[in-house]
Amino acid sequence: MSGANPYDDLLMDHIKNVRNYSVLDDASHTATGENPLCGDEMNLYLKIERDRIQKIAFQCTCCGISMASASIMTEIIKGMSADDARTLLRTFAAMLSDHTTAPPDTIAREQRAILDTVRKFPSRNRCAVLPWATLDGALDNSQTVISVR
């Protein structure tokens, strides 16, 4: 793919201008995730009050797809209830794994960009899933490292 950029402009914007990339010192929930196949590692921080995600942040040593996916995810779920965030993450993770079904028209444009990239580059599926799997662990305040395989 000489000269061709495998990421669309929206994903590149989230890579170059990552959102919510920090540590939350007042996090009520945290989780660590890893993708052992490529070496990506991610820490996710949530501040949940009255069952709402008031703040969300992450830090990672990861590839661009993981970073863009995390940046997009943090923007989408901020302000959601924990239950709504859990429903969204499970629905989206299922879409990432199903490369045959067209995504619904109601899906966010940013999520569609992630799906399109993963469908073009199926080997990057775990990279895109890592933040969402880590979110699942953070909602449970898991002390176990979340591993995507």
Report the percent of the chain where pLDDT is more than 90. Answer: 68
pLDDT digits (tens, 9 = 90+) for 137-147: 999 999 899 99
Can you tell me the distance from the alpha carbon of 23 to that of 9, in angstroms, rounded to the nearest whole number?
27
pTM: 0.90
pLDDT (tens digit, 9 = 90+) per residue, 56-74? 999 999 999 999 999 999 9
CA terminus-to-terminus distance, the chain: 27
Domain positions in the chain: 9-147
Domain 9-147 has CATH 3.90.1010.10: yes
pLDDT of 1 strictly over 50: no
Q: Give the pLDDT confidence of 87-114 residue by residue, as tens digits.
A: 999 999 888 888 777 788 888 888 989 9
